[in-house]
């Protein structure tokens, strides 16, 4: 027979001194609760007796359906595989009672994980769930799943227009500004090059490279656009120029590539907009040079051609294949895609940008899963433990949400697959008394948390929904 001290030690993870179910088993709990739990191996615990123990521990009882759902079944339509939580034994689902302390812990573990995932804290989760019937619990959790079967049934989408990876940098906003609306007739880049060539020729250098023209002789009125022009002329920077006609010819060749790439990218954007209702993954990144575009294209290929993902026929936004009529339209389009996508993959680059940070923040604030892919372990630690965007609040519910962070591209594919197949694996810890963290097991990233600060907890939940509650009351009074 287990003693009170032994039981408290075994159940320390579930002791959360913030009221509610977290206070059920503490030093202050009556001894008869521990005495009954200590005999559980010899005398299995029924639903009725569990409710008695809950009441004796100053907690509310549960429905028969709640007892059955959390301790006696492995639901087929839960948002993750409950049998992957610590300690599961199949024989528990063949009983009508809780047959051991390990069995009791498994059900509590499930409850705590679900409460953190969908309610933000254990106390609120238990209050919302404890009176639901078995069918109501099944319906609630089924609504939280991705419909994997429907995703697979869709089949492939209309193929996008192909753009060579070497030419994808030409769809950027910088290239668009450089070549203008009529690139073959001459854009700002050609104007700058011709002016620079005339200056070089006059100075006795009739055969400069395009790089020298842009680095040394950009007209004063265009000096602030030097970086833009160098980016847009990357393919011909080391070409030597022998005459104005030669310059126009080399410019014309790259302008034709720009026109073809941009036309294809604009068509692709129309395709993306045509499938917003089915958009699965939005890829957020920032690309500042030609190699960034090549690398990002390779990254998307590696992630989404993984064999485990092929069968899902996922619709994903590849940022190296899309362009817009202007930066304002581009912002609207990308915000809309983040809103419609089911999850977001954030690809970190050498430098950060407001754009992709804002997209990641938007996705987290909408409660969507976010995967941060970083090239180095140090950056992975930075995002997981330091970067403020790795922890945000879902605006609608107030639930604290965190991103999953990895420096392994195969992890990105696996996480996407687990999410869409409803087989995520979670683990919980309590690094400080009463402070709960829910982690995604593959990367160890914290995806939910519950603070142990009682003042913060009470003020947060008292005030977070206050405006919404006022609106509901006002609406109800008008309807009456």
Tokens representing residue 60 in the block: 């509310």
Asked whether residue 67 carries a pLDDT value surpassing 90, the answer given is yes
- Residue 477: per-residue pLDDT: 46
| CA torsion angle 181 185 191 195 (round to 10) | 180
What is the residue range of 102's domain? 4-145
Average pLDDT of the residues in 426-443: 94
For β-strands 435-440 and 445-450, DSSP reports them as: antiparallel
Does residue 201 sit in the same domain as residue 280? no
Asked whether residue 478 carries a pLDDT value surpassing 50, the answer given is no
Residue 480 pLDDT grade (very low, low, confident, very high; cuts 50, 70, 90): very low
For β-strands 400-402 and 391-393, DSSP reports them as: antiparallel
- Residue 386: per-residue pLDDT: 64
Does residue 252 sit in the same domain as residue 280? no
Does residue 192 sit in the same domain as residue 285? no
Q: Which helix (H) or strand (E) segment is 466 a member of?
A: helix 466-479
Coil, strand, or helix at residue 359? helix
Can you tell me which residue has the tokens 């609504």? 143
Which ranges of 23-87 would DSSP assign to H, the alpha helix? 31-38, 47-56, 64-67
Q: pLDDT of 90-99, one tens digit each?
A: 999 999 999 9
Q: Kindly report the CATH number assigned to the domain that includes residue 359.
A: 3.40.50.450
Does residue 130 sit in the same domain as residue 213? no
Please count the structural domains in the chain.
3
* Reported pTM: 0.91
Does residue 199 sit in the same domain as residue 294? no
Residue ending a domain, choose from 390, 421, 452: 421
Judge whether 34 lies within some domain: yes
Q: Specify burial of residue 383 (Cβ count, 10 A radius: 0-12, 13-18, 19+).
A: buried
């Amino acid at each position: 027979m287990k003693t009170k001290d032994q039981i408290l030690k075994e159940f320390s993870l579930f002791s959360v001194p913030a009221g509610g179910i977290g206070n059920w088993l503490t030093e202050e709990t009556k001894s008869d609760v521990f005495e009954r739990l200590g005999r559980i191996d010899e005398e299995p615990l029924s639903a009725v007796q569990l409710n008695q123990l809950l009441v004796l521990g100053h907690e509310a009882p549960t429905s028969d359906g709640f007892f059955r759902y959390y301790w006696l079944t492995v639901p087929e339509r839960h948002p993750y595989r409950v049998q992957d939580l610590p300690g599961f034994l199949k024989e528990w689902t063949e009983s009508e009672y809780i047959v051991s302390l390990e069995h009791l812990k498994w059900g509590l573990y499930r409850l705590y994980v679900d409460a953190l995932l969908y309610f933000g804290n254990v106390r609120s989760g238990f209050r919302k769930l404890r009176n639901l019937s078995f069918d109501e619990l099944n319906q609630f959790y089924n609504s939280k799943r991705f419909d994997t079967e429907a995703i697979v049934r869709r089949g492939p989408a209309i193929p996008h227009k192909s753009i060579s990876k070497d030419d994808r940098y030409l769809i950027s906003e910088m290239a668009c500004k450089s070549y203008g609306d009529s690139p073959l007739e001459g854009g700002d880049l050609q104007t700058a090059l011709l002016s620079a060539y005339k200056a070089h020729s006059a100075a006795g250098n009739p055969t400069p490279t395009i790089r020298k023209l842009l680095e040394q002789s950009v007209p004063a009125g265009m000096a602030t656009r030097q970086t833009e022009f160098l980016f847009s002329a990357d393919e011909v920077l080391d070409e030597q120029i022998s005459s104005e006609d030669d310059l126009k010819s080399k410019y014309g060749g790259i302008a034709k590539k720009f026109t073809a790439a941009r036309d294809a990218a604009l068509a692709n954007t129309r395709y993306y907009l045509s499938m917003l209702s089915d958009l699965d993954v939005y890829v957020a990144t920032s690309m500042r040079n030609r190699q960034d575009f090549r690398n990002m294209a390779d990254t998307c290929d590696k992630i989404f051609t993984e064999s485990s993902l092929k069968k899902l026929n996922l619709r994903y936004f590849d940022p190296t294949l899309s362009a817009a009529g202007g930066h304002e339209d581009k912002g609207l389009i990308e915000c809309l895609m983040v809103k419609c996508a089911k999850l977001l993959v954030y690809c970190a680059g050498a430098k950060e940008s407001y754009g992709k940070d804002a997209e990641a923040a938007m996705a987290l604030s909408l409660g969507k899963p976010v995967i941060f892919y970083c090239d180095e372990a140090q950056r992975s630690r930075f995002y997981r433990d330091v970067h403020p965007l790795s922890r945000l609040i879902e605006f609608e519910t107030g639930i604290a949400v965190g991103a999953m962070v990895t420096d392994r591209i195969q992890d990105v594919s696996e996480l996407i697959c687990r999410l869409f197949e409803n087989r995520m694996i979670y683990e919980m810890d309590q690094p400080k008394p009463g402070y709960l963290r829910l982690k995604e097991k593959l990367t160890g990233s914290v995806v939910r948390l519950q603070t142990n600060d009682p003042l913060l907890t009470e003020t947060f939940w008292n005030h977070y929904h206050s405006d919404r509650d006022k609106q509901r009351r006002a609406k109800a009074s008008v309807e009456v």
